[in-house]
Chain A
Amino acid sequence: TQLLEQSPQFLSIQEGENLTVYCNSSSVFSSLQWYRQEPGEGPVLLVTVVTGGEVKKLKRLTFQFGDARKDSSLHITAAQTGDTGLYLCAGNTGTASKLTFGTGTRLQVTL
């Protein structure tokens, strides 16, 4: 059972455009993380959010945790080719030892 659904599954945009990726669940998460994965490598943590309604910014990336802690979004402003990769959300529903990953959003940014 996949607890975390991400949308869209694929996204191809040109450099300079804005985009938003969504991570949704019917479960409540105690914390939620976003990772980025490049080809041939393992995922790398971008951010962790723990409070409902929390907003975190990392340069051109803005992360939001839903008020009910069931969803999250990642907004990228003025995308660059270096943003290309697979974006994964991951959450804890209670057991710290089991981190559940979303289905992933593959982003392609072209010139």
Chain B
Amino acid sequence: NAGVTQTPKFQVLKTGQSMTLQCAQDMNHEYMSWYRQDPGMGLRLIHYSVGAGITDQGEVPNGYNVSRSTTEDFPLRLLSAAPSQTSVYFCASRKSGGKTGELFFGEGSRLTVL
């Protein structure tokens, strides 16, 4: 059982380049989300989705786009990368409904923007 799979694990971009971080889960979870993790700041929510075709903004959405065309996939797009987007990105999923569900995380994608 793969759980939540993120690709790539490492990426280096130049300022202004675009890229997509991929996230796939095989647990049939309705809810998926993207977080970024920076030293001393914990995890901050970027975007989330409660089901296919439905997305919404989190705490730090600027500079990022998402879409949810299938239950399994939730890609995160950086249209014009900036050094401030250097971070470790985590995708997470859980069953929808209720407020106490466990979030299952991928292993993270480390992005460096030069």
Interfacial residues, chain A to chain B (CB-CB below 8 A): 2, 4, 6, 9, 30-31, 33, 35, 40-45, 48, 50, 88, 90, 92, 96-104
Contact = CB atoms under 8 A, between A and B. Distances in A.
A42 B58 contact: no
B90 A99 contact: no
Interface centre among A2, A40, A42, A44 (most CB of B within 10 A): A42
Q: State the main secondary structure of chain A at its contact with B.
A: loop
Interface residues of B, number: 27
Nearest to A49: B100
27 contacts: A4-B42, A6-B42, A9-B40, A33-B100, A33-B102, A33-B103, A41-B105, A42-B90, A42-B105, A42-B107, A43-B90, A43-B103, A45-B103, A48-B102, A50-B100, A88-B43, A90-B103, A96-B98, A96-B99, A97-B56, A98-B58, A99-B103, A100-B45, A100-B59, A101-B42, A103-B41, A104-B42
Contact of A43 (B31, B43, B56): B43
Given A41-B108, A50-B99, 9 more contacts: A2-B42, A9-B40, A30-B99, A33-B102, A97-B56, A99-B33, A99-B103, A102-B42, A103-B41
A72 B102 CA distance: 18
B76 to A, nearest CB: 15
B113 to A, nearest CB: 20
A50 B106 CA distance: 25
B105 A43 contact: yes
A19 B17 CA distance: 45
Interface in B49-98: 50, 56, 58-59, 90, 92, 97-98
A103 B108 CA distance: 18
B106 A42 contact: yes
Contacts of B106: 42
Contacts of A31: 99-100
B44 interface: yes
A45 B97 CA distance: 18
B35 interface: yes
